């Protein structure tokens, strides 16, 4: 019996040693890439780092090492040819499935909507955008397809359906007495049927709607708490959702370790949202100085956009939406000046909608910010601050740290032939100036050879 026990123990020991050896070999087998001969922008500082190389192992940055070391131990060596290495760009307010025709999006074949989005995501990645925070829309399948490698595109932090009250920003029903609320026997609106929007009223319904999006896989919650430019039934001055309703959304999100992002333009809605505990203000063009002070005090991040106004101008020719668009554009200069005055963190986002050609100007939003910020500040908004924003989802985060070049961060790496910290507008000409794109450790473009 003792001999049998010893034999079993010996066999178990050999199996353990074999498994350890196999695991060690597998860990060693992860591809290592050395990227040399670059000036490094780390995503948080406007000062370039010189004399350093970046080591990528698997899908993460393993280390930042001194230049001139032994290169023979690496599986691949990329010579940056004196270029400028940057983290991947993060669009903190994108709508991945809203690139095509508006009517098709709301009422058309949703298979086509998703296929169109998949095509567009590959183009977005080739612009150097490696991560997006989706600010509303049914992107769960698209996210999974990208994560599984079926489709090339930026990683997606999905919000799922935008939550709104009746007569709110995403109430897509046609104003008609026959279009009753669904609780009173009315039809479910197209946006709700397709998973792009959800109408909820009162704290209980709002909490239920939040939990539904979390159930589907949302990393954060998008709540409309004020009027919007792209909708018809809510002027920008309208306040949507009471403090109790917003607080219900915040509490439900907090219970899942994440947060609420809020669509709002006007000053009352901004203040109400911040006091209820939201983490980011989306748009904010009509906020006042009191809002700016409160935002700075609470550490709330301003996720706002420029290019969308120019992109929508030729589309929104009807008097209702054109009027709201003009109003938002008028307030933009004051918003940015107050953000600078109170040192509010600002994130890059685009919000470009329903125009495939218009969305190709995604990176122009960075250039437009030069009216208020220098190029290095803008690049930080598009990388390090963006990484901070998507990281607010905490325990809901399905990925690692993004937006920075540092040990342990996700290997999202760009190399430009010109310095974007001197002139951010060079990123717009990505065909010529963007020489290398790595996302998750995988190379999608390399014209450095």
- Which CATH number belongs to the domain containing residue 433 in this structure? 2.30.40.10
Give 191: exposed, middle or buried? Use CB within 10 Å, 0-12, 13-18, 19+.
buried
Taking residues 5-29, report their average pLDDT.
55
10 located within any domain: no
439 located within any domain: yes
Taking residues 350-356, report their average pLDDT.
91
More confident residue, 396 or 13: 396
C-alpha 110/C-alpha 194 separation (Å) is: 7
Indicate whether 117 and 76 sit together in one domain: no
Sorting pLDDT into bands at 50, 70 and 90, what band is 226?
very high
Tokens of 221: 């919650």
What residue spans of 318-411 are helical by DSSP H?
319-341, 356-359, 364-368, 375-382, 384-390
Give 381: exposed, middle or buried? Use CB within 10 Å, 0-12, 13-18, 19+.
buried
Indicate whether 80 and 194 sit together in one domain: no
User: What domain range is 441 assigned to?
Assistant: 30-87+405-446
**Measured over all CA atoms, what is the biggest interatomic distance in the chain, rounded to whole angstroms?**
92
Of 320, 347, 371, the domain-final residue = 371
Helix/strand/coil (H, E, C) string of 286-315?
ECCHHHHHHHHHHCCEEEECCHHHHHHCCC
Q: How many domains does the chain have?
A: 2
Indicate whether 314 and 439 sit together in one domain: no
C-alpha 159/C-alpha 431 separation (Å) is: 31
pLDDT at 97: 96
Answer for the pair 41, 48: CB distance below 8 angstroms, yes or no.
yes
C-alpha 65/C-alpha 54 separation (Å) is: 6
21 located within any domain: no
Sorting pLDDT into bands at 50, 70 and 90, what band is 54?
very high
Q: At what angle do helices 110-125 and 140-147 cross, to 10 degrees?
A: 40
Answer for the pair 283, 264: CB distance below 8 angstroms, yes or no.
yes
What kind and span of H or E run contains 414?
Answer: strand 413-416
Length of the chain in residues, anyone?
A: 449
Asked whether residue 118 carries a pLDDT value surpassing 80, the answer given is yes
Indicate whether 236 and 334 sit together in one domain: yes
C-alpha 208/C-alpha 212 separation (Å) is: 6
pLDDT at 191: 87
Indicate whether 54 and 119 sit together in one domain: no
What kind and span of H or E run contains 172?
Answer: none
Q: Estimate to the nearest angstrom the gap between the alpha carbon of 410 and the chain centroid.
A: 15
Helix (H, G, I), strand (E, B) or coil at 23: helix
Indicate whether 119 and 164 sit together in one domain: yes
422 located within any domain: yes
Taking residues 338-351, report their average pLDDT.
96
57 located within any domain: yes
14 located within any domain: no
Sorting pLDDT into bands at 50, 70 and 90, what band is 6?
low
166 located within any domain: yes
The string of pLDDT tens digits covering residues 333-343 is 999 999 999 99
Of 355, 371, 387, the domain-final residue = 371
Indicate whether 93 and 45 sit together in one domain: no
pLDDT at 17: 58
Mean pLDDT is lowest, of 41-45, 235-239, 402-406, for: 235-239
C-alpha 109/C-alpha 154 separation (Å) is: 24
We report the CATH number of the domain holding residue 103 as 3.20.20.140
Helix (H, G, I), strand (E, B) or coil at 115: helix
More confident residue, 200 or 309: 200
pTM: 0.91
285 located within any domain: yes
Asked whether residue 367 carries a pLDDT value surpassing 80, the answer given is yes
Indicate whether 138 and 99 sit together in one domain: yes
Asked whether residue 23 carries a pLDDT value surpassing 90, the answer given is no
- Long-range pairs of 108-114 with CB within 8 A, sequence gap ≥ 24: 110/138, 110/194, 113/194, 114/141, 114/142
- Ramachandran class of 257: left when φ > 0, alpha when ψ lies in -120 to 50, beta otherwise: left
Kindly give, in sequence order, each residue whose CB lies less than 8 Å from that of residue 314, ignoring residues fewer than 6 positions away: none
pLDDT at 21: 55
Indicate whether 66 and 164 sit together in one domain: no
Asked whether residue 114 carries a pLDDT value surpassing 80, the answer given is yes
Indicate whether 227 and 149 sit together in one domain: yes
C-alpha 23/C-alpha 16 separation (Å) is: 10
The string of pLDDT tens digits covering residues 257-278 is 999 999 999 999 999 999 999 9
pLDDT at 102: 85
Instruction: Kindly tell me the sign of the dihedral angle through the C-alpha atoms of 39, 42, 46, 52.
Output: negative
* Average pLDDT of the residues of the chain: 92
Sorting pLDDT into bands at 50, 70 and 90, what band is 186?
confident
Of 325, 355, 371, the domain-final residue = 371
Cα separation values, 56 from 71, 229, 402, 443, Å? 13, 43, 14, 11
Sorting pLDDT into bands at 50, 70 and 90, what band is 7?
low
Asked whether residue 25 carries a pLDDT value surpassing 60, the answer given is no
Asked whether residue 10 carries a pLDDT value surpassing 60, the answer given is no
Q: Are strands 346-348 and 413-416 parallel, antiparallel or unpaired?
A: unpaired
Q: Among residues of the chain, what percentage have pLDDT more than 70?
A: 94
Sorting pLDDT into bands at 50, 70 and 90, what band is 8?
low
Indicate whether 189 and 259 sit together in one domain: yes
The string of pLDDT tens digits covering residues 294-343 is 999 999 999 999 888 777 777 778 887 888 788 777 888 999 999 999 99
Taking residues 166-193, report their average pLDDT.
86
Indicate whether 263 and 217 sit together in one domain: yes
Asked whether residue 26 carries a pLDDT value surpassing 60, the answer given is no
Answer for the pair 222, 136: CB distance below 8 angstroms, yes or no.
yes
């Amino acid at each position: 019996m003792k001999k049998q026990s010893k034999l079993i123990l010996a066999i178990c020991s050999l199996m353990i040693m074999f498994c350890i050896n196999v695991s060690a070999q597998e860990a060693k087998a992860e591809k290592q890439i050395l990227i040399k001969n670059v000036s490094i922008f780390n995503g948080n500082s406007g000062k370039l780092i010189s004399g350093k190389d970046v080591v990528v192992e698997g899908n993460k940055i393993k280390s930042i090492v001194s230049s001139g070391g032994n290169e023979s131990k690496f599986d691949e060596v990329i010579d940056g040819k004196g270029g400028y290495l940057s983290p991947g760009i993060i669009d903190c307010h994108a709508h991945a499935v809203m690139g095509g025709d508006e009517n098709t999006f709301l009422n058309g074949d949703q298979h086509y909507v998703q296929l169109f989005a998949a095509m567009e995501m590959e183009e977005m990645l080739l612009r150097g955008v490696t991560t997006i925070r989706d600010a509303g829309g049914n992107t769960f399948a698209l996210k999974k397809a990208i994560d599984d490698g079926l489709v090339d595109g930026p990683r997606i932090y999905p919000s799922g359906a935008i939550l709104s009250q009746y007569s709110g920003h995403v109430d897509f029903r046609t104003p008609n007495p026959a279009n009753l609320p669904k609780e009173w026997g009315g039809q479910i609106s197209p946006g709700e049927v397709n998973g792009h929007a959800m109408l909820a009223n009162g704290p209980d319904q709002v909490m239920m709607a939040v939990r539904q999006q979390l159930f589907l896989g949302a990393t954060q919650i998008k709540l409309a708490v004020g009027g919007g430019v792209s909708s018809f039934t809510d002027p920008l001055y309208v306040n949507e959702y009471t403090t109790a309703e917003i607080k219900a959304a915040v509490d439900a999100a907090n219970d899942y370790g994440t947060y609420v992002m809020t669509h709002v333009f006007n000053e009352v809605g901004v203040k109400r949202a911040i006091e209820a505990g939201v983490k980011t203000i989306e748009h904010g063009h009509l906020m006042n100085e009191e809002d700016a002070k409160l935002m700075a005090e609470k550490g709330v991040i301003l996720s706002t956009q420029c290019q969308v106004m120019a992109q929508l101008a030729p589309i929104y020719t009807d008097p209702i939406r054109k009027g709201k668009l003009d109003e938002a554009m008028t307030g933009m200069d004051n918003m940015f000046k107050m953000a600078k005055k109170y040192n509010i963190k600002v994130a890059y986002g685009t919000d470009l909608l329903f125009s495939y050609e218009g969305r190709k100007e995604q990176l122009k939003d960075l250039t437009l910010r030069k009216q208020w910020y220098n190029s290095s500040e803008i690049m930080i908004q598009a990388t390090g601050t963006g990484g901070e924003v998507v990281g607010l989802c905490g325990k809901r985060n399905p990925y690692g740290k993004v937006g920075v070049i540092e040990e342990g961060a996700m290997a999202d790496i760009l190399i430009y032939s010109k310095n974007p910290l001197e002139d951010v507008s060079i990123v717009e000409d990505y065909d010529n100036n963007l020489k290398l794109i790595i996302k998750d450790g995988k190379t999608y473009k390399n014209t450095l050879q």
